[in-house]
Chains A and B, each alone.
Chain A
């Protein structure tokens, strides 16, 4: 029983990171119907930004998150302006290949400048907060969970309550019609893409603080896993992506308990494959039919 609750707590903390990344996929997929394979790299660069801040300037938790946000936002903004805007019309396969190229480029460039070795992060709030019936919950876990929830709620408020958010949702529905209705489609896509990048950047900071390590290749696995999470919850729906992220974190932690740690990365893939085969729209996604 204790173990189950403990795994649940760990799963929710980890699931928060996946939820942030999954929502990043979902935002981009919504407005551009593109899967941005370089999300994992943005995650990594957010973490690198936080590491640089903590090592050379000041070691501060909140400021790290801000840096993650800024790095992710700026990077995604630039990527969209220089590349994805000009390739918007081409086939989905080609644009996916392009994002793979960017991901490879960012990872390797970071490996070159930052070094290939894994570096340690300073610890924040390491003392445990409380212990209930043998379950340890640290302050770090609590604060990370809270931070993720705050970011997710803010994003939901932005998308569902503001005028800009309405524009994002309209473009996601049908960007030609949205353009005809006087919405600046280019700017809306740019903002959605940058916000998606910012989410990934924050997730990166949270990830490197939680695992206490930073490396140039840390983005690979979380990037792919959270795509599985997004598919699991429904790529076309933002609440779905959040739900998928949290469930994926929980499933993964229980899975590791049941099988062995060697199969940790297999679990999320298997969940994704099962969902793609039997329920491709995900838990909360809209069903979409293709017409000739």
Chain B
């Protein structure tokens, strides 16, 4: 089966890539930092979307896996001095392992109970990390080294490119996954788990697989976060981060590839771009969540833009000006 490639989409994609490659060289360190956070949140949102959007597992404790990834990677790097690539993978594996345990316990529950159980487990994990001695307790882990690249410590721009490449690989793999047979099975489980199991699908095994995969990605994101920030503290991984990730997925559009990416960028960049908004970040997240569920239940991506009067009139004008269709 050969897929036709739309030339216009290809050009758009190449232009976007060129922009993403060029832009870190002409902006300040601060903006690069925001871009790296964007990348990390895209990883988190995409991984949560695999659970919520494609399989119908509403996890409210996603931050826990982010936290475990960050701590695993940070502790290995600072206490044992292990190189970054290994810490990175270990962060993912650590999160996936705990994710498997959590999944084993919770995946048989119905949706709302699963949401609260995962949230509870997330809090339990955070509180244990905050009180345990091997994680430095409330002091957090400081002095996490930047990864080495060709004999020198990575600069922020290099780190940005690493994150960019990882995000691109992730998005490619996820889009391959959801368009595969497995992806279709997952959607069937989301729409009707009983029907799926009566057709011979091992629902629990699929859910478990996707849970492990999603937690693995969240753990990788945690490792990147810890390494980039060079300091982590358990109090940074509160429930509100989980809610922010949920907001990104819900506002962008659950069950789509581009939705969580757009949501993550929007919610990460907007408060920074509009200065006076940054104090009201959490408030904006709340309002955006409510509005998106009430008026755009399929998210920004699923919105029928042409039905909004303002945009419709703009489209109309463009049409008459250019004399061609948009």
Residues of A within 8 A of B283 (CB): 104-105, 108-109, 112
Q: Does any Cβ of A come within 8 Å of B120's Cβ?
A: yes
Whether B117 contacts A102 by the Cβ 8 Å rule is no
Residues of B within 8 A of A101 (CB): 247, 285-290, 293
Within 8 A of A (CB), among B119-134: 119-121, 123-124, 127-128, 130-131
Q: Does any Cβ of B come within 8 Å of A35's Cβ?
A: yes
Whether A273 contacts B121 by the Cβ 8 Å rule is yes
Binary interface encoding of chain B residues 99-135 relative to chain A, with 1 for a CB under 8 A from any of its CBs, else 0: 0000001100111110111011101100110110000
Within 8 A of B (CB), among A74-107: 83, 86-87, 90, 92-98, 100-107
Interface size on B, residues (CB 8 A): 43
Whether B198 contacts A93 by the Cβ 8 Å rule is no
Whether B293 contacts A277 by the Cβ 8 Å rule is no
Q: Does any Cβ of B come within 8 Å of A220's Cβ?
A: yes
Residues of A within 8 A of B250 (CB): 94, 97
Q: Does any Cβ of B come within 8 Å of A180's Cβ?
A: no
Whether B286 contacts A272 by the Cβ 8 Å rule is no
Interchain CB contact (< 8 A) of B293 among A94, A227, A266, A270: A94
Q: With the chains together, A97 CA to B198 CA distance in Å?
A: 29
**Main secondary structure on chain B at its contact with chain A?**
helix
Q: With the chains together, A286 CA to B280 CA distance in Å?
A: 43
Q: Does any Cβ of B come within 8 Å of A243's Cβ?
A: no
Whether A96 contacts B58 by the Cβ 8 Å rule is yes
> Contacts A93-B56, A108-B282, A262-B127 hold; do A100 and B119 have CB atoms under 8 A apart?
no
Q: Does any Cβ of B come within 8 Å of A46's Cβ?
A: no
Task: State the Cβ distance, A106 to closest chain B Cβ, in Å.
Answer: 8
Counting residue pairs across A and B whose Cβ atoms lie within 8 Å, the total is 120
Whether B109 contacts A98 by the Cβ 8 Å rule is no
Within 8 A of A (CB), among B220-252: 239-240, 243, 246-247, 250
For A292, give the chain B residue with the smallest CB separation. Answer: B194
Whether B294 contacts A87 by the Cβ 8 Å rule is yes
Whether B117 contacts A273 by the Cβ 8 Å rule is yes
> Contacts A100-B246, A101-B289 hold; do A112 and B280 have CB atoms under 8 A apart?
yes
Q: With the chains together, A103 CA to B286 CA distance in Å?
A: 7
Whether B112 contacts A96 by the Cβ 8 Å rule is yes
Q: Does any Cβ of A come within 8 Å of B195's Cβ?
A: yes
Whether B287 contacts A94 by the Cβ 8 Å rule is no
Task: State the Cβ distance, A110 to closest chain B Cβ, in Å.
Answer: 10
Task: State the Cβ distance, A72 to closest chain B Cβ, in Å.
Answer: 19
Residues of A within 8 A of B52 (CB): 93
> Contacts A266-B128, A276-B109 hold; do A105 and B290 have CB atoms under 8 A apart?
yes
Q: Does any Cβ of A come within 8 Å of B147's Cβ?
A: no
Q: With the chains together, A280 CA to B112 CA distance in Å?
A: 12
Write the residues of chain B forming the contact surface with A, with a CB cutoff of 8 angstroms: 52, 56, 58, 105-106, 109-113, 115-117, 119-121, 123-124, 127-128, 130-131, 194-195, 198, 239-240, 243, 246-247, 250, 280, 282-283, 285-290, 293-294, 297
